[in-house]
Amino acid sequence: MVRILIQTTECPFPGTEGAWTAKHSDTSSYILARMEIHTALSAKTSGGTYNIANGDVTTWQKKWPGITGWFGLKGTNPAPQIQLPEEFYQSHRKEWEAMVKKYGLKKEKEEGFWFLHGCLKGEFDRHYDLSKARKSGFDETVDTVESYTKTFEKMRKAKYIP
């Protein structure tokens, strides 16, 4: 499906300035599954423990515009006053419930914002060393923004998002 959207509505990054520029690694379910297959089939990985990530070291500053762009929004720098996702959800709960009804979405209890809060407020570098996985012969990578957008497409198909 080709998506052509005009990005007009700005969506500030919902985290801190420090988290905006901190380097980190993301691990998509796709790359994790590929490493698990590699581990199961390779004698070089027997009994080992490995870090695995998409392969790029990124920042929210790099990926936020691509993530928000998929939704037709223009991702921007953090606002002076941040509103964490849980607070945003709570203040827009009625609008979300109306969207669930309008688009026939699955109604789920929203919880577990603690992990996302940590990602959006973590003001330190936290990228994985993949050298051991690479030495074992696992050299696959995946584009981080693309891994998010593919997940959003699956979520849309499964009726979790409109």
What pLDDT digit, counting tens, does each position of 48-71 carry?
889 999 999 999 999 999 999 999
Amino acid at residue number 143: D
Residues of the chain short of pLDDT 50, as ranges, are none
60, 104, 107 from 101: Cα distances, Å:
32, 5, 9
> Do 104 and 26 contact (CB within 8 A), yes or no?
no
